[in-house]
Structure 1
Amino acid sequence: MTGTIYSLIPPLIMIILVLLTRKVTLSLGVGIIIGALFIHEFNVMDSIQQIWSAFYGIFVAEGGPNMGTFYLLFFLIFLGMLTAFMSASGGTRAFGEWAITKIQTKKGAQLLPFFLGIIIFIDDYFNSLAIGQVARPLTDRHKISRAKLAYLIDSTSAPVAVLSPISSWGAFIIGTIGAIIAEHNLSNFQPLESFVRMIPMNIYAIIAIFLVFLVVIFKLNLGAMRKHEQRAEETGELVDPNRNDIPGELKEEFVQTNSGRIYHLTIPIVVLIISTIAAMVITGRNNVEENATLLTIFENTNVNLSLFIGGLIAVYHSAIFYLIQMQPKTSTFLVLREGIKSMLPAIYILILAWVIGTIIENLGTGDYLALVVERSQLSPSYLPVIVFIVCGIMAFATGTSWGTFGIMLPIVGQIAVNSDVNMLLASLAAVLAGSVFGDHCSPISDTSILSSTGAGSNHIDHVLTQIPYAVIAAIITIIGYVVLGITGMVWITLILSLVLLFATALILNKLTQS
């Protein structure tokens, strides 16, 4: 059943179960079991061994601890501690009270995470988690639902990272493009130049970013998002009161001091940003033997280690600010405990998502979809649109845009070179666009999980409220790639896509206001 059309069944069952039950941990668990049974043709003992192997492989690799996993999980724990100390010290409340006097409208409060998402382009994980800490006090004060905040974060994190050459994503993609160019002896192409030329062809990422802006400006609350926003506005309940599994949400079981200052929040956040970026530069430089450039540094940086270092330093500063306050306050142990507890739902979901990602990889779901593209006799002009759709399905089913990049970029590169090299860059850009689209819609996407965590939103609520916006951007992207394939005119295609987006926003605005 591996590597065939049957390999699509386990992820589809899991996704349907998520949508029906809205219980992500249960659905992931069922998906893991069914996937393992499919791999071993329903041999129970072998399936149990497969599940254990997938779980064990998350923490142990090549005979030693998988430090990347531990670094990321500890960063999540540190982030919970950081949030707890900033809240207990009164910094979060003080920042919210100050910010609401400076940003006095709901639109302004929503534009803050939008612009921060564009500015903080270094890494999607960092973007997803850090922006929530800054924006949440303000969006809470303006009664903006956590699902809306999660959308604002998620739809600017991966799209911005995939467009930036100076990011962990950009460096990885440029390195992969370089390997494709070398393999096919394409002397007319250079990796960095090719990536830059691909930016206007990455239609989905650009449309998704502009759509976020239009959603804020025109107050486009579509589908389930309207329900969340209405509840937040009318009752002040920012999350569904029937949801208990809210990652990143403190239970407020400790007393906030009354002497909190704005710098009790801003300084730890600034320290987090500066120390994380500095660690990324240092670890990247240490991994480059000679002739280090900014690009090679980010290509070789250790993102998870850098997050760990930045998180640890930020927690230290926030703890100091809390401890030096003289007011009666909750014990430090209780604050730490509540901070850790707030991150446990995210950690559980992330680990299960990693396990099922391994199961799906062993099922050969991605390999099967890649084979479909490779064997199809496509007109080169339609290659970008077909690639976009297939990569969207692959990333949706597997929950990983990076995994889709790794599988599909070399395959699509080979198809484009053999059929029409003029479609190479457009086809590679379609891989990136489709991967981000599928990632936005997938309940097992690690970026979406972390965006839910940063926003303090129920994860499935975030996924379901984001899907309508992702589908709108995808439909416009499909039209754009059809036009690009027929005309070959990149900038005309991009302008047309943006015009379509603006027209769609105007129509939806009229419909939602009526």
Structure 2
Amino acid sequence: MEGTIFSLVPAILMLILVLVTRRVILSLGIGIIVGAFMLTQMDIGAGLSLIWSIFAGIFVSEGALNTGSIYLLSFLFLLGVTTAFMTASGGSRAFGKWAVERIRTRKGAKLVPSILGIIIFIDDYFNALAVGQVARPVTDRYKVSRAKLAYYIDSTSAPITVISPISSWGAYIIGTIGSILAANEISDYQAFEAFVLMIPANFYVFAALLLVFLTIYLRLDIGAMKTHENRAKDTGELHNPDKGDVPGDLNNEFREHDNGKISHLIWPIVTLIIGTVGMMVYTGIQSSEGTADILSIFANTNVNISLFTGGIISVVTALVLYVGQPSPKSGLMHVFLQGLKAMLPAIYILIAAWMIGDIISRLQTGEYLAQQFSQADINIAYLPLIIFLLSGFMALSTGTSWGTFGIMLPIAGEIAAVTDPAFLLPALSAVLAGSVFGDHCSPISDTTILSSTGAGANHIDHVLTQLPYAIIAAVAASVGYVVLGLTGQVWVPLLLALVIVLVTALVIHKLNPEKG
């Protein structure tokens, strides 16, 4: 069943179950079981053995610790502990009070995560988690739903990272482009120049970013998002209370200290940023061959160990600040354990997402989709559109932008180079745009999971509330790619895509105006 149409079954089944049941762990679990049994020809014993092997492989691979996943999971626990100490110390409450004096509207509160999401462009993981920690006290004060906060985080983190050359994504993409140019003997431009030239043709990214700010200024709450926002404004419930625990939510497990100061929140976050970025630079320099420049540093950096290091430093900082406060305060162990407990929902979802991602990879789902695309007789004018849609579906099914980059960039590059080299850069841009679109829609995307974690939102609520906005941006981008293919222009279809988003937003606002 590997590499055939049947390889789509686990991914499609999982997506349907998520939409129908809205229970992400159950849906992922069924997808894992079905996929494992397909790989073992319905042998129950072998299927269960494969499931255990995949689970164990998250922690131990080829007789050695799988440090990448262990560091990332550990960082989530560390982030939970840091948040717990910042909350128990009264730092989050003090920051909220300070922000209320300076940010006087819900609109201003919503701008905080949106602007921070664009400023913190180094890495999507770091962006999603750091922005959530800074913005949550402000958005909570103004009763902005956690689903809305998660949307702002997710719809700025990946889009800004994928068009930034000085980022973990940008460095990886530039390296991949370099190999594509070399393989197709294209010498008109170097990899970095090609990446910069590709940026305007990433229509989905600009459409999604524009829509973020339109939702703020037009109070554009669509579908399920409106339910979450109305509940937050009317009752103060920032997420659905019937959904149980959400990642990072401490549920008032301890009393916040009365003498909390803004510094109890700021310093742990500052040390988190400095520690993480500093370690990213250090590991990038250590792994670079020859003279290390900024691109080689970010191309070779170890993001997961950098996050872990920054997390350790942040926990120590938050702990020291908490211990230095006068009594009475909650016990250290109690706060520590509550911080660990708060991150368990995110850990469960992330592990399950990794497992089904492994299953889908073994079934060669991405390879099957790519093969069907390569064999199709496609009019070159529609190449960017088809690449965008296929990359979106691949990222949606597999839950990985990077995996889609690795499969689709070489294929798109080769097809464009052979048929019409003028379409090379637009085709590669369409891969990046489609991958981010699919990532935004996928419940098994690690970036989507971490965005809901950073926001303290129920994960499936985040996926379902973000979906309408992603589709609006994708439709606008699709029109742009059709025009690009027919005209060969880039700036005109980009402007057209943005106009479509703007007009759509204005129409929705006029038909269903929001108040407050």
Q: Say whether the fold is shared (TM-score over 0.5).
A: yes
Q: Which amino acid aligns with 2:11?
A: P
Which structure 2 residues correspond to residues 410-489 of structure 1 after superposition, within 5 A? 410-489=410-489
- Deviations, residues 110-147 of structure 1 (Å, cap 9, x unaligned): 00000000000000000111111111011011011000
Contact 1:71 1:305 in 2 (8 A): yes
Amino acid at match of 2:473: A
Whether the aligned pair in 2 keeps the contact of 1:117 and 1:127 (CA below 8 Å) is yes
Whole-angstrom distance in 2 between the partners of 1:331 and 1:295: 45
Question: 1:510 — aligned with what?
Answer: 510
Work out the CA distance in 2 between the residues paired with 1:412 and 1:52: 36
Between 85-94 and 55-64, the greater mean CA deviation after superposition: 55-64
Rounded to whole Å, the distance in 2 between the matches of 1:60 and 1:176 is: 28
Contact persistence 1:204–1:433 (CA under 8 A): yes
Deviation by residue 1:410-457 (Cα, 9 ceiling, x = unmatched): 111111111111101100100000010001001111101000000000
Which letter does structure 2 place at the counterpart of 1:499? V
Quick check: 1:251–1:338 contact (8 Å CA) kept in 2? no
Offset, 1:389: 0.5
CA offsets, 1:25-79, max 9 Å, x none? 1111000000111222212122122212221221122321110111101110010
The letter of the residue matching 1:10 is: P
- 1:162 Cα deviation after fit: 0.3
- Paired letter, 1:207: A
Find the aligned partners of 1:40 and 1:511 in 2 and give their Cα distance: 53
Matches within 5 A, 1:272-283: 272-283=272-283
2:241 is matched with: 241
Cα deviation for residue 159 of structure 1 reads 0.4
Aligned match of 2:290: 290
**Equivalent residue letter for 1:463:** V
Runs of 4+ in 1 over 3 A off after TM superposition: none
CA distance in 2 between counterparts of 1:9 and 1:502 reads 37
Q: CA deviation at 1:315?
A: 0.8
Question: Deviation of residue 191 (structure 1)?
Answer: 0.3
Distance in 2 (alpha carbons) for counterparts of 1:511 and 1:126: 38
Instruction: Read off the aligned partner of 2:73 and give its amino acid letter.
Output: L
Give the structure 2 partner of residue 105 of structure 1. Answer: 105
Match of 1:495 in 2: 495
**Alpha-carbon distance in 1 for matches of 2:486, 2:46:** 50
Partner letter of residue 47 of structure 1?
G
Q: How does 1:268-417 map to 2 (within 5 A)?
A: 268-417=268-417
Distance 1:289 1:189 in 2: 23
SS of the aligned residue for 2:335 comes to helix
Where does structure 1 lack aligned partners over 5 or more consecutive residues? none
Cα offset, 1:98, TM superposition: 0.5
SS in 2 for 1:498: helix
- Distance between the aligned counterparts of 1:445 and 1:253, measured in 2? 30
Counterpart residue type for residue 117 of structure 2: G
Give the 3-state SS of the residue equivalent to 1:144 in structure 2.
coil
Tell me the number of residue pairs that the alignment of Structure 1 and Structure 2 aligns.
Answer: 514
TM superposition score normalised by structure 2? 0.99
Distance in 1 of aligned mates of 2:10 and 2:493: 37
Tell me the equivalent position of 1:210: 210
Output one character per residue of 1:256-280: Cα deviation in whole Å (capped at 9) or x when no partner. Answer: 1100001110111111111111110
Partner of 2:130: 130
| Conserved 8 A contact 1:408-1:431 | yes
**Secondary structure of 1:242 counterpart:** helix
CA contact (8 A) 1:399 1:442 kept: yes
Q: State how far apart, in whole Å, the 1-side matches of 2:378 and 2:46 are.
A: 40
Deviations 1:326-360 (A, max 9, x none): 12111000000000000001001000000000000
- State the SS of the aligned residue for 1:513: coil
Q: CA deviation at 1:4?
A: 1.0
Farther off after superposition, 468-477 or 251-260: 251-260
Which letter does structure 1 place at the counterpart of 2:423?
Answer: M
Please state if 1:155 is matched with 2:127: no
Counterpart residue type for residue 505 of structure 1: A
| Residue type of the alignment partner of 1:485 | G
Q: Which residue of 2 aligns with 1:54?
A: 54
Q: Distance in 2 between matches of 1:500 and 1:2?
A: 40
Counterpart of 2:70 in structure 1 is 70
| Match of residue 226 from structure 1 | 226
1:14–1:30 CA contact under 8 A, matched in 2: yes
Q: Residue 267 of structure 1 aligns with which residue? A: 267
Q: How big is each residue's C-alpha offset from its partner over 1:275-307, in whole Å with a ceiling of 9 and x where there is no partner?
A: 111110011001113121100000000000000
Superposed CA RMSD in Å reads 0.9
Deviation at 1:245, TM superposition (A): 3.1
Taking structure 1 as the reference length, the TM-score comes to 0.99
Q: CA deviation at 1:15?
A: 1.0
Distance in 1 of aligned mates of 2:188 and 2:377: 26
Deviation at 1:8, TM superposition (A): 1.0
Q: Distance in 2 between matches of 1:124 and 1:173?
A: 14
Give percent identity, aligned residues only.
59
Cα offset, 1:364, TM superposition = 1.1
- Deviation for aligned residue 1:156: 0.3
Give, in whole Å, the separation in 1 of the partners of 2:125 and 2:238.
23
